[in-house]
Structure 1
Amino acid sequence: MNTYFPELALARKALASQPFSIYLGARLTAFGDGAATLELDVREELRQQNGFVHGGVLSYAADNALTFAAGTVAGPGVLTAGYTIDYLRPAQGAVLRAHAQVVRPGRTRVVCRCDLFVLDSDGNQTLCAIAQGTIAVTGTALPVSG
């Protein structure tokens, strides 16, 4: 694993302290060794007018997955400094999966990449967006309640 956030359980506790993540039903399914995977079930209220997963939901998933991936190498004191996202195709499916990995760890900034997939009811995944982000290392973790 890693030195800073050695347990998936601790990362899940941090995610559970985010009210918006709770509302979306987000869950961490993998965490460690420079990578993190976040998933959420696609519900009707997360879709836009054409029936696709709203771009803001994909953006949320990328942002959080990027930051959690950075946390595996930099510790819990990290904040998103900025990211870009490219939507490749409409997101239609049962589950949204955001898999992020560290591209370059640094002392004050960590660069990460995130691939976003939608999974159908059979578990087949389709790439729908990609993101790249820069995560600032603050060195100070915010308290996690609970």
Structure 2
Amino acid sequence: MTDALDLTLAQKVLAAQPFSNLLGARLVAFGDGEATLELDIRDDLRQQNGFLHGGVLAYAADNTLTFAAGTVVGARLLTAGFTIDYLRPAEGTLLRAHAQVVRAGRSRVVCRCDLSVVDGAGKVTLCAVAQGTIAVPEPARGN
């Protein structure tokens, strides 16, 4: 396995992602097989009924699953695939995605993620769950 990242380096990786910057995503916890990403729910991230758009939830799951895998196998990762189940409409002021590694192998890492919204009073509501497989690519030849 490669050297695991630390929170500061992982935050730099997130900051290098233009789409993450557009959404205002923040990596708030990272280590020991787990990662937590948060973003403020803004009006421009909502769908026509006023709920947080499912694409934003899927983005948060995808990125948080991959960051959780990075805590155990390092930075060189790619999402191989994930599934997401939307449990209820996402209404609140903050989206929090928390992922953890289920199993880490040499070439694949399986993770799961809970996506919750936090309202203005601090009430946390689970709104979606995801599971994903993260690929650890072979090093480029000559490296």
Q: TM-score, normalized by length of structure 2? A: 0.94
Contact 1:76–1:139 (8 Å) recurs in 2: no
| Correspondence for 2:70 | 71
Q: How does 1:42-61 map to 2 (within 5 A)?
A: 42-61=41-60
After the TM superposition, list the runs of 4 or more consecutive aligned residues in structure 1 that deviate by more than 4 angstroms: none
Name whichever of 115-124 and 48-57 sits farther off.
Answer: 115-124
CA–CA distance in structure 1, aligned partners of residues 69 and 93 of structure 2: 27
Give percent identity, aligned residues only.
Answer: 72
CA–CA distance in structure 2, aligned partners of residues 54 and 10 of structure 1: 29
Match of 2:13, as an amino acid?
A: A
1:105 and 2:104 equivalent?
yes
Alpha-carbon shift at residue 124 of structure 1 (Å): 1.4
Match of 1:134, as an amino acid?
A: T
Match of 1:118, as an amino acid?
A: V
Structure 1, residues 24-68: CA drift from partner, whole Å, max 9, x if none?
000001000000000000000000000000000000000000000
CA–CA distance in structure 2, aligned partners of residues 27 and 139 of structure 1: 29
Query: Which consecutive unaligned segments of at least 5 residues does structure 2 have?
Result: none
CA–CA distance in structure 1, aligned partners of residues 119 and 138 of structure 2: 39
Structure 1, residues 59-83: CA drift from partner, whole Å, max 9, x if none?
0000000000000011000110000
Contact 1:115–1:129 (8 Å) recurs in 2: yes
Q: How does 1:16-95 map to 2 (within 5 A)?
A: 16-95=15-94
Q: RMSD of the alignment, in Å?
A: 1.4
Match of 1:4, as an amino acid?
A: A
| Correspondence for 1:144 | none
Q: How many residues align?
A: 139
